[in-house]
Amino acid sequence: MAGLEVLYSSVAGGISCPQDALVCYVHWDIIKNGYRCIGSGDEPSGSDKMSELLPPDWSANKELYSLRYKAKDDDTSLLLKAILDNSILTFYLMNANTEQVAGLTVNVDDHVDAQQLQNFESVFKDTDSLSAKVRSQLLLLPDRTAAQSTENERQREQEEQRQRREGSDPLYSPTSSNPRFPLHGPGRSSIGPNPMFPLLEPGRADLDPFGPHGHGGMIVDPLRSGFPRSGFDPSGGIPGVLPPGAVPPGARFDPFGPVGRGRPGPDPDHMPPPGFDDMFM
């Protein structure tokens, strides 16, 4: 409220009653929402100029205040009137372009301490409520509090949906843009290891042939069983079947025929079993 303090200090010498302080506050709320005061009274004058301050004669009449405003960014003109009835101050704001009128009724005692008129730190009360009323009832602007509440509710619903999705989908991973494919992390390839979430990628070790720690490929992989095996390496190619380099080193490889089919002797796959032609076998 630094701007309000400067404004209040500039007119403090002329504030002699609670309604003066209240009009000053409403003036500041109008200023901070994109308008500038151009003068007092109902009609334009040759001395009109856009300013954030109140004009010299703004509080000449303690029962009827009249101030004119103009928008900073367009031609919108406003006429503000404040009428006092006992401790009730009623504000009327007319848009001179559309002749639309909005009204706000305020109990002066609810927002101004009459004993603290010369003490800015203590003079105003419940300013958040007053500003909300000025925006929604006088300036007819969206209620920021309601808009923020709606946004908070939307974010809370999104968070609840995310938590439900994590709890119900065993393949969900926070590193994935698609919860059904946990191997894909933001900015990562489908086979790149993700050391940040090693336990949140179910199925990776079985599906990723280049998975971390050398555990990619088949669940029961004869090439990684831990038992002694021949020197066969599919990455070197299979004569007459696969050229060298067709199978990347360490990748899963399912032989589609007997390895070493060029070996001498008959091919057992080409010989019928004994009694092949005996229907009673």
Say what the pLDDT of residue 163 is: 79
For 4, phi then psi, to 5°, come to: -65, -40
Helix-strand-coil split of the chain, %, nearest 5: 35, 15, 50
pLDDT, tens digit (0-9, with 9 covering 90-100), for 146-156: 555 667 778 88
For the cut 60, the answer to whether the pLDDT of residue 245 exceeds it is yes
Say what the pLDDT of residue 152 is: 75
Rounded CA-CA distance 246/238 in Å is 9
Please choose, from the candidates 253, 254, 259, 229, the residue with its C-alpha nearest in 3D space to the C-alpha of residue 241: 259
Q: Copy the structure tokens of residue 15.
A: 């504030």
Say what the pLDDT of residue 45 is: 85
For the cut 50, the answer to whether the pLDDT of residue 181 exceeds it is no
pLDDT, tens digit (0-9, with 9 covering 90-100), for 92-102: 999 999 999 99
Rg of the chain taking only CA atoms, in angstroms: 41
Task: Please give the average per-residue pLDDT across 150-177, as a whole number.
Answer: 70
- Is the model more confident about 103 or about 254? 103
pLDDT, tens digit (0-9, with 9 covering 90-100), for 119-142: 999 999 999 999 999 999 999 876
pLDDT band, very low/low/confident/very high, at 169 (cuts 50, 70, 90): low
Q: Copy the structure tokens of residue 80.
A: 């503000």
Q: Copy the structure tokens of residue 87.
A: 């401790």
Catalogue the long-range contacts made by 99-106 (C-beta closer than 8 Å, 24 or more residues apart): 100/140, 102/137, 102/138, 102/139, 102/140, 103/137, 103/138, 104/133, 104/134, 104/137, 104/138, 106/22, 106/130, 106/133
For the cut 60, the answer to whether the pLDDT of residue 206 exceeds it is no
Q: Copy the structure tokens of residue 38.
A: 């151009």
Say what the pLDDT of residue 180 is: 45
Mean residue pLDDT across the chain: 77
- Is the model more confident about 77 or about 172? 77
For the cut 90, the answer to whether the pLDDT of residue 27 exceeds it is yes
